[in-house]
């Protein structure tokens, strides 16, 4: 859905760059699914399990830093919304946070690769930054106005 929206909105270099990043993230998410679907074994594995690795997290963190450079610091919470791409990325961020909570709960009863949990945490932060990028680098963020409807 985000791809469709990006194709429709614009095909500038930034959008192409972010579309490619999203493709990489989608691939990582399948790696994460394989990681979680394969129990951690204390015995030597005949075939090494596919696991999320620190390098995948480092790449996400580098992208957060890269895209965050063009954004002004927040002075207010922002509400999900703005451009169509931003709205879809906000929805994706919410899903990533939910998955992070579920995997955190899973980790209390099963051994998991902790990198999978860290990856989702960093992914949700990247998606938040990308939401702001697609809201004209934060200029069209929808700001929360405390008590707005209490008048």
Which tens digit of pLDDT belongs to each residue from 41-86? Answer: 888 878 889 999 999 999 999 999 999 999 989 889 999 999 999 9
Residue 11's pLDDT band, with cuts at 50, 70 and 90, is low
pLDDT at residue 16 above 60?
yes
| Residue 84, H or E segment | helix 84-107
Residue 42 vs residues 4, 34, 103: alpha-carbon distances, Å: 44, 18, 20
Chain CA centroid to CA 71, Å:
17
pLDDT at residue 30 above 50?
yes
Q: Is 123 exposed, middle or buried (0-12, 13-18, 19+ CB in 10 A)?
A: buried
Tell me the Ramachandran region of residue 147: left when phi exceeds 0, alpha when psi lies from -120 to 50, beta otherwise: left
Q: What is the DSSP string of 16-83?
A: HHHHHHHHHHHHHHHHHHHHHHS---SSPPSSPPP---HHHHHHHHHHHHHHHTTSPPPSS-EES-SS
| Vertex 144 angle, CA 143 and 145, to 5° | 110
Domains of the chain by start residue, with CATH: 2-144 (1.20.1200.10)
For the entire predicted model, the pTM comes to: 0.88
């Amino acid at each position: 859905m985000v791809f469709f929206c990006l194709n429709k909105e614009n095909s500038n270099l930034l959008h192409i760059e972010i579309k490619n990043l999203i493709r990489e993230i989608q691939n990582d998410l399948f790696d994460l699914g394989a990681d979680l679907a394969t129990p951690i074994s204390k015995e030597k594995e005949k075939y090494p399990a596919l696991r999320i690795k620190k390098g995948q997290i480092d790449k996400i963190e580098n992208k957060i830093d890269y895209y965050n450079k063009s954004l002004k610091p927040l002075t207010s919470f922002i509400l999900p919304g703005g451009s169509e791409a931003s709205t879809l990325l906000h929805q994706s961020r919410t899903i990533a946070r939910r998955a992070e909570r579920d995997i955190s709960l899973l980790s209390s009863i099963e051994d998991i690769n902790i990198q999978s949990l860290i990856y989702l945490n960093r992914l949700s932060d990247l998606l938040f930054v990308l939401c702001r990028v697609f809201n004209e680098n934060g200029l069209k963020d929808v700001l929360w106005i405390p008590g707005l409807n209490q008048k």
